Structure 1
């Protein structure tokens, strides 16, 4: 019972408080001379039914769905329980097309990345995917097969691909999780270039979750990063003019902001918390 739900004894208390000379059994006309019905203000409103919890056993007893990832020689078969897949609106619609005649349940995903799909399924079954975030820290769990510094951008791209997959499949929790893991990766200039190229190729123009941080990151460090990967930086700007425009806009905005702050607070130092990034030369 919620705090704003009237207590069950309210109606009894109201009746006890009524004058003794009123005969309650004479009907509504005696209680209300104009003949209208009295509202039951002291009545207990019906509460919304509590959704029934779906157990993990019920998920695992649902039909098996075959997922065909990739195409041609690179096609890979994965399987998953329909009860878990349908947490995604994308797969809920796809599974709704299946006939209940015992025929195979199969979904073709020729353009999807196999590793990202593996992370997606791992999230459905466990609520997370490898590598997990270390609680209370801005780092990911260690694995000997994963370098401490992302020289190529592969680690950034892994989470970016999970992000775009979650966007397509309509899983906001997974999308947010992937975005948070991106900020735990230590990378280099060339790694950042590879990541930025993917972001500007596969995310929407109005994306604010990972597009904006990419532009901000390069705007605040472009003078250093460009020196380490100038050719790649130039190529990215020419290939995706929106990237160059976003970075330039933030550089100019920051310049104006700094000038205003200097006028208001002369001599005050500025600072900004940025995602760690290592120099290509020091990380080698």
Structure 2
């Protein structure tokens, strides 16, 4: 008797194939689930800040800075995104509306050349005369020789005071460095000292103290080159005279202590003179 023939249709999957497919689906599902499990490494990737390019600065609105007043007024133009590096200008620009046609900031009492130097710094990170090395500056043909009016010193001093006012400490530091790299005469130094004691805060020892120290260590210059100018300066700004005198007395006291220590062979301070009873 012939055995019955079993025929398997090609369109019907065998049992093993169904199990294999089921296992494959489960494996993919488990892998996907494993990928969703927190590993604690998510926060390790650094957050890269968005970089502001120079093109972004140039695309910002133009701000008009009006220096002086009346017929003497001069208008300087600058991009808002560069100006707002200064807290002073950032506050001023915050007052403008998006639909404002004219964006204008009035600076009637500020020096034109100094403001131009501030803008040059905002665009180039330096201003003329620029540093050509750590201790040298490029040649400035506009400065007379000898510079008895203190033209070069006053140029940097004005930039310094504006940088302080506009909230740009890096620019103030740069201007202060250029002041110390500038050569001048005794009369030019007096003109610079007059500006410093007139325009800067009494608490700003960063710029005032070097001025007093300069004159405290150069008494021979005062007698021979700028005695009358120094006298007028002391009468006009008594604080300047007091600061210089204080430093001179401090130097004399230190010299006296050293001399007494050398003569007595000790490092003790000043001795009280013994009063004779006779």
Q: TM-score, normalised by structure 1?
A: 0.74
The aligned residue for residue 126 of structure 2 is 128
Following the alignment from structure 2 to structure 1, what is the Cα–Cα distance between the partners of residues 260 and 50? 61
SS of 1:133 mapped into structure 2: coil
Distance 2:118 2:63 in 1: 15
Q: Are positions 1:255 and 2:257 aligned together?
A: no
> Residue 171 of structure 2 aligns with which residue?
174
Q: Is the 8 A contact 1:65 1:81 kept in 2?
A: yes
Deviation for aligned residue 1:144: 3.1
Larger radius of gyration: 2
Please show how residues 131-146 of structure 1 align to structure 2 within 5 Å.
Answer: 131-137=129-135, 139-146=136-143
Taking only aligned residues, the RMSD between alpha carbons, in angstroms, comes to 2.1
Alpha-carbon shift at residue 147 of structure 1 (Å): 3.6
- Give 3-state SS (helix, strand or coil) of 2:205's partner: coil
1:222 aligns with 2:219: yes
1:132 offset after TM fit, Å?
Answer: 1.3
Secondary structure of 1:209's partner? helix
Secondary structure of 2:131's match?
coil
Question: Which has the bigger relative contact order, CA under 8 A and spacing at least 6?
Answer: 1
Structure ranking higher in helix proportion: 2
Distance apart, 1:191 and its partner CA: 0.5
Is 1:157 aligned with 2:154? yes
| Counterparts of 2:245 and 2:97, CA distance in 1 | 54
Displacement of 1:47 in angstroms is 6.8
Could you tell me how far apart the structure 1 residues matched to 2:51 and 2:260 are?
59
Q: CA deviation at 1:44?
A: 6.7
Conserved in 1, the CA contact under 8 Å of 2:143 and 2:151? no
Aligned-pair distance for 1:46? 5.5
- Tell me the alpha carbon deviations over residues 113-167 of structure 1, each in whole angstroms, 9 at most, x when there is no partner: 0000010000000000000123143x32113333454221011000000000000
Report what 2:97 is aligned to: 99
| 1:136–1:66 CA distance, 2 compared to 1 (3 A) | closer
SS of structure 2 residue aligned to 1:252? helix
- Aligned partners of 1:143 and 1:183: how far apart in 2? 16
Q: Shift of the alpha carbon at 1:185?
A: 1.1
| 2:83 and 2:122 in contact (8 A); partners too | yes
Distance verdict in 2 for CA 1:251–1:81, change over 3 Å: same
**Secondary structure of residue in 2 paired with 1:80:** strand
Runs of 4+ in 1 over 4 A off after TM superposition: 42-48, 263-266
Deviation of 1:92 (Å): 0.3
State the number of aligned residues: 226
Counterpart mapping for 1:244-283 below 5 A: 244-263=241-260
Write the deviation string for residues 24-71 of structure 1: whole angstroms up to 9, x where unpaired.
xxxxxxxxxxxxxxxx9x767557734322100000100000010011
> What is aligned with 1:74?
72
CA contact (8 A) 2:96 2:103 kept: yes
Q: Is the 8 A contact 2:82 2:123 kept in 1?
A: yes
Tell me the SS of whatever aligns to 1:65. strand
Q: 2:151, 2:166 → 1: CA distance?
A: 22
